[in-house]
Amino acid sequence: MLLACHQRVDRMLRLLQRLAPHLATHGADAEAVRAAQAVLRYFDLAGPAHHEDEERHLLPLLRARGDASLRALAARLRREHRTMTSRWRGVRADLQAVCEGRWRRRPAAAARWAAFATLYRRHIDDEERIAYAALRPWLDARALASMGREMAARRGAPVAS
């Protein structure tokens, strides 16, 4: 579930990064509004839920079972969740302007969006390459199923049996 979420994050980041040149060429047309709405919907709902998943399930394991470097990684990943949430506010305001027809050329927006995407991608890479790999020995099928059930229940999603 966590890896699938990372794939969706990447799709939304690519959509966000395609939006900047589209806006420069076409303005806030219907296609731009649909893209902005999709990115808003994803990062308003799924992004915070994903961070919560990691903070409930993975970061405590890194702190409890990891060495000093993994504990430091857990602390950094948690700080980055806060940073991404903070940076999302600026990106969100830009996208809301697109959706509401208030978009005017904002030269800083593309840079803000690129910085947001860069942070997210580096964060995901560290999670997958270092954190998930380090936790694999402690996450057997039963532990993963339990985590998946809890994540699904918090989202009100059906739980596979």
Say if residue 161's pLDDT is above 60: no
Q: Which domains does the chain have, with CATH numbers?
A: 2-155 (1.20.120.520)
pLDDT grade for 157, boundaries at 50, 70 and 90: confident
- pTM for this predicted structure: 0.88
Mean pLDDT along residues 77-102? 96
Instruction: Give residue-wise pLDDT tens across range 46-79.
Output: 999 899 989 998 999 999 987 999 999 999 999 9
- Confidence (pLDDT) at 143: 78
CA 62 to CA 68: how far, in whole Å? 10
